[in-house]
Amino acid sequence: MRKRYLFYLLLFTAAILDAITALFDARMMKIVSDPLAYADSFFIVGMLVCMLLGLFFSTGTKNRSIGSLVDPSFKRIRMIKKEELLYHILAGAGNAITTIAFFALFFSFTDPSSVLPFYQVVLLYLLFIEAFSEKNAPTIAEIEASVAVVFGAIMMSMTEGIPETSALIIVFLIMNPAYALFTLYQRKLKSMTFGGKSNDAINIRFWNVFFTMVFCLLFSLIISPESILLAFDVIPQNFSLIATATTLSTISYILFIRALGISSASIAQAVKSASLVLSLIFSLLMGQLAGIDSTFALLKFMGIILVVLGIVDISFTEVRSFLFIRLKSGQDSLKLMQKIWAIKGIDSVALVSGEYDIIARIRTRTLGKGYETIITKINSMSEVSTTHWESVLKEWETV
Binding site for another protein (CB under 8 A): 135-136, 320, 322, 334, 337-338, 341, 347-356, 359, 388-398
Residue 183: CB minimum distance to another protein, A: 18
Q: How far apart are CA 6 and CA 316, in angstroms?
A: 15
CB 131 within 8 A of CB 138: yes
Provide the CB-side half-sphere exposure for 207 (13 A, CA).
26
79-85 LR contacts (CB < 8 Å, sep 24+): 80/207, 81/194, 83/192, 84/189, 84/192, 84/199, 84/207
Choice between 36 and 323, CB closer to another protein: 323
Query: Is 260 exposed, middle or buried (CB count within 10 Å of its CB: 0-12, 13-18, 19+)?
Result: buried
Query: Is 172 exposed, middle or buried (CB count within 10 Å of its CB: 0-12, 13-18, 19+)?
Result: middle
Residue 320: CB minimum distance to another protein, A: 7
Amino acid, single-letter form, for residue 352 = V
What residues contact 28, with CB distance under 8 A and at least 6 apart?
Answer: 38, 42, 238, 241, 242, 245
Q: How far apart are CA 249 and CA 215, in angstroms?
A: 18
Angle between helices 294-316 and 140-156 in degrees, nearest 10 = 160
Angle between helices 274-285 and 294-316 in degrees, nearest 10 = 150
What residues contact 111, with CB distance under 8 A and at least 6 apart?
Answer: 26, 159, 283, 288, 289
CB 262 within 8 A of CB 315: no
Q: How far apart are CA 158 and CA 113, in angstroms?
A: 9
CB 94 within 8 A of CB 182: yes
Q: How far apart are CA 228 and CA 303, in angstroms?
A: 38
* 106: phi then psi, degrees, rounded to nearest 5: -65, -15
